[in-house]
Amino acid sequence: MEDLQAPGDTITIKLDLGTKRDRAAVRDLASRLKALPLLASTSIAVVGRDKLVLTPSAKHDLAKVKQLLLEQPEIYELEVNEEAFRRPGARPYEQVRKQHLAESMASSRSSLQQKIKDKLRALLGSRKKGSGDAGGEDGSKVKRRRKVKKSKGGKAGSGGAGGQELSPEKEAQRAARRAEKKAKRDAKRRELKREGGDAEEEERGDAAGGEHVGMGRPDVYEDAGYVAGQGNPEL
């Protein structure tokens, strides 16, 4: 009768720590345990991701219940009235839990350090890229300014001996201007030539009339009533 479960006693089921599971997985495990024939009339409650509490009835054989539970691969240790039961050779549950906790903290610390390094590397890379882009942009601006200056110099020297060739429209305009200037020069030369011929005719008329009118004598022109182009003074 010593192996019979006393009324009100509970069995704390501590699950294996090597498997990560959520509360849904723990509830599913509780349902599967309760489906076992020996545990059909028991009550199993989920109290954590790695812990269950089983409440058997007074008719259950405690030894058989413990043996059945320890045969399940998901269960690591049982605790009944502050006494632990586990498989032969297994270390205490709290010792294993502390080891897993230390390993988890070390892994989290290493992962955090790696994330910080990656973040710093990304920031430094973006800064270098930004400075490179700025330098490239300044260089392109200098090249554009040089190109603009060069194009302005080419426009200023166009049409000269070392200038660039003009477009057909500008060539036509220049030819028209040259022709207009030449026509004006020719007209001026013709006018000067005509004025020179008129002066010769006046001299011949004066010689034919037997009287010479000297230059620089405005009084003679006024008294004689000289009319230019006729060759003879009016008496």
Per-residue model confidence as pLDDT tens digits over 167-183: 777 788 888 888 888 88
Q: What count of other Cβ atoms lies within 10 Å of the Cβ of residue 209?
A: 13
Q: Residue 67's closest CA among 44, 47, 86, 45?
A: 86
Tell me, what's the pLDDT at 149? 61
The share of the chain scoring above pLDDT 90, in percent, equals: 20
> Per-residue pLDDT for 71 more than 90?
yes
Q: What residues contact residue 170 under an 8 Å CB cut-off, 6+ apart?
A: 159
Question: Amino acid identity, residue 172?
Answer: A
Q: Give the separation between CA 15 and CA 102, rounded to whole angstroms.
A: 18
Q: For residue 135, name the pLDDT band (cuts at 50, 70, 90).
A: low
Q: Residue 12's closest CA among 106, 89, 82?
A: 82
157 near 164, Cβ under 8 Å?
Answer: yes
Q: Give the separation between CA 113 and CA 105, rounded to whole angstroms.
A: 12
Task: Provide the b/e sequence for 121-150 (b: ≥16 CB within 10 Å).
Answer: eeeeeeeeeeeeeeeeeeeeeeeeeeeeee
Q: Which residues pair with 53 in a beta bridge?
A: 12, 45
Q: Give the separation between CA 49 and CA 52, rounded to whole angstroms.
A: 8
Top-confidence range, 83-97, 107-121, 196-210: 83-97
104-129 mean pLDDT: 81
| The pTM of the whole model exceeds 0.85 | no
Q: What residues contact residue 22 under an 8 Å CB cut-off, 6+ apart?
A: 49
Tell me, what's the pLDDT at 235? 37
| Segment 28-55, tens digit of pLDDT | 999 999 999 899 888 999 998 899 999 9
